[in-house]
Amino acid sequence: MGDTRASVLKPVNGALTQAGNIVELFVEVVRNTFKRPFQFREFIEQAWFIASVTILPTAMVAIPFGAVVSLQTGSLIKQLGAESFTGAASVLAVIQQGSPLVTALLIAGAAGSAVTADLGSRTIREEIDAMEVLGINPIQRLVVPRVLAMVLIAILLNGLVSVVGIAGGYFFNVILQGGNPGAYLASFSAFAQLPDIWIGEFKAAVFGVIAGVVAAYKGLHPKGGPKGVGDAVNQSVVITFLLLFFANLILTMVYLQIVPAKGS
Protein backbone atom coordinates (compact mmCIF):
# COMPACT_ATOMS: atom_id res chain seq x y z
CA MET A 1 0.00 0.00 0.00
CA GLY A 2 2.81 2.37 0.91
CA ASP A 3 4.68 1.61 -2.32
CA THR A 4 1.54 2.25 -4.37
CA ARG A 5 0.93 5.56 -2.65
CA ALA A 6 4.55 6.60 -3.15
CA SER A 7 4.41 5.70 -6.84
CA VAL A 8 1.27 7.81 -7.25
CA LEU A 9 2.56 10.81 -5.32
CA LYS A 10 6.02 10.84 -6.91
CA PRO A 11 4.91 12.37 -10.26
CA VAL A 12 2.71 14.88 -8.42
CA ASN A 13 5.56 15.96 -6.17
CA GLY A 14 7.86 16.20 -9.17
CA ALA A 15 5.38 18.37 -11.05
CA LEU A 16 4.87 20.67 -8.06
CA THR A 17 8.63 20.97 -7.53
CA GLN A 18 9.15 21.81 -11.18
CA ALA A 19 6.36 24.39 -11.08
CA GLY A 20 7.96 26.01 -8.04
CA ASN A 21 11.34 26.11 -9.78
CA ILE A 22 9.81 27.74 -12.86
CA VAL A 23 8.14 30.40 -10.70
CA GLU A 24 11.45 30.97 -8.90
CA LEU A 25 13.21 31.44 -12.24
CA PHE A 26 10.52 33.91 -13.30
CA VAL A 27 11.13 35.95 -10.14
CA GLU A 28 14.86 35.89 -10.84
CA VAL A 29 14.26 37.07 -14.42
CA VAL A 30 12.11 39.98 -13.21
CA ARG A 31 14.68 40.97 -10.60
CA ASN A 32 17.64 40.77 -12.98
CA THR A 33 15.81 42.68 -15.71
CA PHE A 34 16.40 45.92 -13.81
CA LYS A 35 20.03 45.22 -12.96
CA ARG A 36 22.80 46.92 -14.87
CA PRO A 37 24.49 46.43 -17.19
CA PHE A 38 21.66 45.33 -19.44
CA GLN A 39 22.78 42.96 -22.21
CA PHE A 40 21.42 45.08 -25.06
CA ARG A 41 23.52 43.46 -27.79
CA GLU A 42 22.41 39.98 -26.73
CA PHE A 43 18.81 41.20 -26.65
CA ILE A 44 19.01 42.56 -30.21
CA GLU A 45 20.68 39.41 -31.52
CA GLN A 46 18.11 37.15 -29.89
CA ALA A 47 15.20 39.29 -31.09
CA TRP A 48 16.53 39.18 -34.64
CA PHE A 49 17.04 35.42 -34.46
CA ILE A 50 13.55 34.79 -33.04
CA ALA A 51 11.98 37.04 -35.67
CA SER A 52 13.90 35.31 -38.47
CA VAL A 53 12.65 31.86 -37.49
CA THR A 54 9.04 32.84 -36.76
CA ILE A 55 7.91 35.57 -39.19
CA LEU A 56 7.44 33.39 -42.27
CA PRO A 57 5.74 30.46 -40.47
CA THR A 58 3.50 32.91 -38.62
CA ALA A 59 2.40 34.63 -41.82
CA MET A 60 1.80 31.27 -43.53
CA VAL A 61 -0.29 30.00 -40.61
CA ALA A 62 -2.23 33.25 -40.25
CA ILE A 63 -3.68 33.06 -43.79
CA PRO A 64 -5.49 29.68 -43.47
CA PHE A 65 -6.33 30.49 -39.85
CA GLY A 66 -8.14 33.68 -40.85
CA ALA A 67 -9.82 31.82 -43.69
CA VAL A 68 -11.11 29.04 -41.42
CA VAL A 69 -12.44 31.52 -38.87
CA SER A 70 -14.11 33.59 -41.56
CA LEU A 71 -15.64 30.62 -43.38
CA GLN A 72 -16.93 28.99 -40.20
CA THR A 73 -18.24 32.25 -38.75
CA GLY A 74 -19.77 33.28 -42.06
CA SER A 75 -21.56 29.94 -42.42
CA LEU A 76 -22.93 30.09 -38.88
CA ILE A 77 -24.05 33.72 -39.09
CA LYS A 78 -25.63 33.08 -42.48
CA GLN A 79 -27.80 30.39 -40.87
CA LEU A 80 -28.87 32.94 -38.27
CA GLY A 81 -29.71 35.51 -40.95
CA ALA A 82 -27.19 38.10 -39.74
CA GLU A 83 -24.79 38.25 -42.69
CA SER A 84 -24.05 41.92 -42.05
CA PHE A 85 -22.22 41.00 -38.83
CA THR A 86 -19.85 38.46 -40.39
CA GLY A 87 -16.92 40.85 -40.44
CA ALA A 88 -17.44 41.92 -36.83
CA ALA A 89 -17.58 38.36 -35.50
CA SER A 90 -14.56 37.25 -37.55
CA VAL A 91 -12.44 40.21 -36.48
CA LEU A 92 -13.38 39.75 -32.83
CA ALA A 93 -12.44 36.07 -32.93
CA VAL A 94 -9.12 36.76 -34.63
CA ILE A 95 -7.98 39.73 -32.55
CA GLN A 96 -9.16 38.63 -29.11
CA GLN A 97 -8.47 34.88 -29.19
CA GLY A 98 -6.89 33.57 -32.35
CA SER A 99 -3.89 35.76 -33.04
CA PRO A 100 -2.38 35.63 -29.51
CA LEU A 101 -2.68 31.83 -29.45
CA VAL A 102 -1.23 31.36 -32.94
CA THR A 103 1.62 33.70 -32.05
CA ALA A 104 2.28 31.94 -28.75
CA LEU A 105 2.30 28.46 -30.28
CA LEU A 106 4.79 29.48 -32.95
CA ILE A 107 6.95 31.36 -30.44
CA ALA A 108 6.98 28.31 -28.15
CA GLY A 109 7.49 25.80 -30.96
CA ALA A 110 10.14 27.61 -32.99
CA ALA A 111 11.84 30.13 -30.71
CA GLY A 112 11.30 28.30 -27.41
CA SER A 113 12.78 25.06 -28.68
CA ALA A 114 15.80 26.94 -30.06
CA VAL A 115 16.37 28.70 -26.73
CA THR A 116 16.11 25.41 -24.84
CA ALA A 117 18.55 23.70 -27.19
CA ASP A 118 21.02 26.60 -26.97
CA LEU A 119 20.99 26.87 -23.18
CA GLY A 120 20.91 23.08 -22.80
CA SER A 121 24.02 22.65 -24.95
CA ARG A 122 25.77 25.37 -22.94
CA THR A 123 24.79 23.60 -19.72
CA ILE A 124 26.08 20.15 -20.68
CA ARG A 125 29.34 21.75 -21.91
CA GLU A 126 29.59 23.30 -18.43
CA GLU A 127 29.63 26.84 -19.83
CA ILE A 128 26.98 27.89 -17.31
CA ASP A 129 29.09 26.56 -14.43
CA ALA A 130 32.12 28.37 -15.82
CA MET A 131 30.18 31.66 -15.94
CA GLU A 132 29.14 31.23 -12.32
CA VAL A 133 32.74 30.52 -11.30
CA LEU A 134 33.81 33.75 -13.02
CA GLY A 135 31.15 35.68 -11.12
CA ILE A 136 28.85 36.18 -14.14
CA ASN A 137 25.17 35.74 -13.48
CA PRO A 138 23.82 33.47 -16.27
CA ILE A 139 20.26 34.64 -15.58
CA GLN A 140 21.18 38.26 -16.24
CA ARG A 141 23.60 37.48 -19.07
CA LEU A 142 21.68 34.83 -21.01
CA VAL A 143 18.12 34.34 -19.80
CA VAL A 144 16.84 37.91 -19.42
CA PRO A 145 17.71 39.00 -23.00
CA ARG A 146 16.08 35.88 -24.43
CA VAL A 147 12.88 36.25 -22.42
CA LEU A 148 12.54 39.95 -23.27
CA ALA A 149 13.26 39.23 -26.93
CA MET A 150 10.50 36.62 -26.99
CA VAL A 151 8.09 39.09 -25.40
CA LEU A 152 8.92 41.80 -27.95
CA ILE A 153 8.64 39.50 -30.95
CA ALA A 154 5.42 37.96 -29.60
CA ILE A 155 3.82 41.42 -29.41
CA LEU A 156 4.95 42.31 -32.93
CA LEU A 157 3.92 38.95 -34.38
CA ASN A 158 0.51 39.27 -32.75
CA GLY A 159 -0.07 42.39 -34.82
CA LEU A 160 1.12 40.59 -37.94
CA VAL A 161 -1.21 37.65 -37.34
CA SER A 162 -4.13 40.00 -36.71
CA VAL A 163 -3.59 41.92 -39.96
CA VAL A 164 -2.92 38.84 -42.10
CA GLY A 165 -5.77 36.89 -40.47
CA ILE A 166 -8.30 39.67 -41.01
CA ALA A 167 -7.13 40.15 -44.60
CA GLY A 168 -7.38 36.41 -45.27
CA GLY A 169 -10.81 36.27 -43.68
CA TYR A 170 -11.98 39.18 -45.81
CA PHE A 171 -10.73 37.56 -49.01
CA PHE A 172 -12.30 34.17 -48.37
CA ASN A 173 -15.59 35.62 -47.10
CA VAL A 174 -16.01 38.00 -50.01
CA ILE A 175 -14.65 35.77 -52.79
CA LEU A 176 -15.73 32.27 -51.74
CA GLN A 177 -18.89 32.99 -49.76
CA GLY A 178 -20.09 35.91 -51.84
CA GLY A 179 -20.15 38.32 -48.92
CA ASN A 180 -20.67 42.05 -49.25
CA PRO A 181 -17.28 43.84 -49.04
CA GLY A 182 -18.79 47.07 -47.72
CA ALA A 183 -20.83 45.31 -45.06
CA TYR A 184 -17.83 43.25 -44.00
CA LEU A 185 -15.69 46.33 -43.46
CA ALA A 186 -18.47 48.47 -41.99
CA SER A 187 -19.32 45.88 -39.34
CA PHE A 188 -15.84 45.97 -37.77
CA SER A 189 -16.96 48.43 -35.13
CA ALA A 190 -20.21 46.62 -34.33
CA PHE A 191 -18.71 44.20 -31.80
CA ALA A 192 -14.99 44.98 -31.65
CA GLN A 193 -13.62 47.76 -29.46
CA LEU A 194 -10.22 49.20 -28.62
CA PRO A 195 -9.71 47.11 -25.44
CA ASP A 196 -9.93 43.99 -27.62
CA ILE A 197 -6.66 45.04 -29.26
CA TRP A 198 -5.10 45.73 -25.88
CA ILE A 199 -6.03 42.33 -24.46
CA GLY A 200 -4.67 40.65 -27.57
CA GLU A 201 -1.32 42.38 -27.18
CA PHE A 202 -1.29 41.77 -23.43
CA LYS A 203 -1.96 38.07 -23.98
CA ALA A 204 0.88 37.92 -26.49
CA ALA A 205 3.26 39.52 -23.97
CA VAL A 206 2.21 37.13 -21.20
CA PHE A 207 2.52 34.15 -23.53
CA GLY A 208 5.99 35.35 -24.55
CA VAL A 209 7.05 35.49 -20.89
CA ILE A 210 5.71 31.99 -20.24
CA ALA A 211 7.39 30.53 -23.32
CA GLY A 212 10.69 32.24 -22.53
CA VAL A 213 10.84 31.26 -18.85
CA VAL A 214 9.87 27.63 -19.46
CA ALA A 215 12.34 27.31 -22.34
CA ALA A 216 15.11 28.83 -20.23
CA TYR A 217 14.34 26.61 -17.24
CA LYS A 218 14.41 23.44 -19.31
CA GLY A 219 17.59 24.57 -21.04
CA LEU A 220 19.33 25.21 -17.75
CA HIS A 221 18.34 21.84 -16.28
CA PRO A 222 18.81 19.10 -18.89
CA LYS A 223 19.35 15.53 -17.72
CA GLY A 224 21.43 12.82 -19.33
CA GLY A 225 23.78 14.66 -21.66
CA PRO A 226 22.90 15.35 -25.33
CA LYS A 227 19.86 13.07 -25.17
CA GLY A 228 18.67 15.06 -22.17
CA VAL A 229 18.83 18.25 -24.23
CA GLY A 230 16.53 16.73 -26.83
CA ASP A 231 14.14 15.57 -24.11
CA ALA A 232 14.25 19.05 -22.55
CA VAL A 233 13.26 20.63 -25.88
CA ASN A 234 10.25 18.35 -26.21
CA GLN A 235 9.24 18.88 -22.59
CA SER A 236 9.53 22.67 -22.85
CA VAL A 237 7.20 22.77 -25.87
CA VAL A 238 4.59 20.51 -24.23
CA ILE A 239 4.67 22.33 -20.88
CA THR A 240 4.47 25.72 -22.61
CA PHE A 241 1.46 24.66 -24.67
CA LEU A 242 -0.38 23.51 -21.54
CA LEU A 243 0.43 26.70 -19.64
CA LEU A 244 -0.55 28.88 -22.59
CA PHE A 245 -4.05 27.46 -22.87
CA PHE A 246 -4.55 27.68 -19.11
CA ALA A 247 -3.29 31.29 -19.06
CA ASN A 248 -5.54 32.14 -22.01
CA LEU A 249 -8.56 30.82 -20.10
CA ILE A 250 -7.72 32.89 -17.01
CA LEU A 251 -7.00 36.08 -18.97
CA THR A 252 -10.17 35.74 -21.04
CA MET A 253 -12.34 35.21 -17.97
CA VAL A 254 -10.82 38.24 -16.20
CA TYR A 255 -11.12 40.40 -19.32
CA LEU A 256 -14.78 39.55 -19.91
CA GLN A 257 -15.54 40.43 -16.28
CA ILE A 258 -13.69 43.74 -16.39
CA VAL A 259 -14.58 44.95 -19.90
CA PRO A 260 -18.25 44.41 -20.83
CA ALA A 261 -19.12 43.42 -24.36
CA LYS A 262 -19.97 46.31 -26.66
CA GLY A 263 -23.65 47.07 -26.67
CA SER A 264 -24.36 45.18 -23.45
Query: Could you give the percent of the chain with pLDDT greater than 90?
Result: 7
Residue 184, classed as helix, strand or coil, is helix
Residue 38 has what pLDDT?
82
Cβ(149)–Cβ(251) below 8 Å: no
Lowest-pLDDT range, 10-24, 39-53, 191-205, 209-223? 10-24
Cβ(239)–Cβ(221) below 8 Å: no
Please list, in sequence order, all residues whose beta carbon lies within 8 angstroms of the beta carbon of residue 50, skipping any fewer than 6 positions away: 107, 110, 111, 114, 149, 150, 153
Domain boundaries, the chain: 54-258
Find, among 63, 84, 91, the residue nearest to 184 by Cα: 84
Find, among 30, 74, 31, the residue nearest to 170 by Cα: 74
Residue 247 clears pLDDT 70, i.e. is over it: yes
Is 261 exposed, middle or buried (CB count within 10 Å of its CB: 0-12, 13-18, 19+)?
exposed
Residue 82 has what pLDDT?
60
Residue 154 clears pLDDT 80, i.e. is over it: yes
pLDDT tens figures, 218-238: 888 888 777 888 888 888 888
- Residue 77 — very low, low, confident or very high, per pLDDT cuts 50/70/90? low
pLDDT tens figures, 103-128: 888 888 888 888 888 888 888 888 88
φ, ψ for residue 125 (rounded to 5)?
Answer: -85, 5
pTM of the model: 0.85
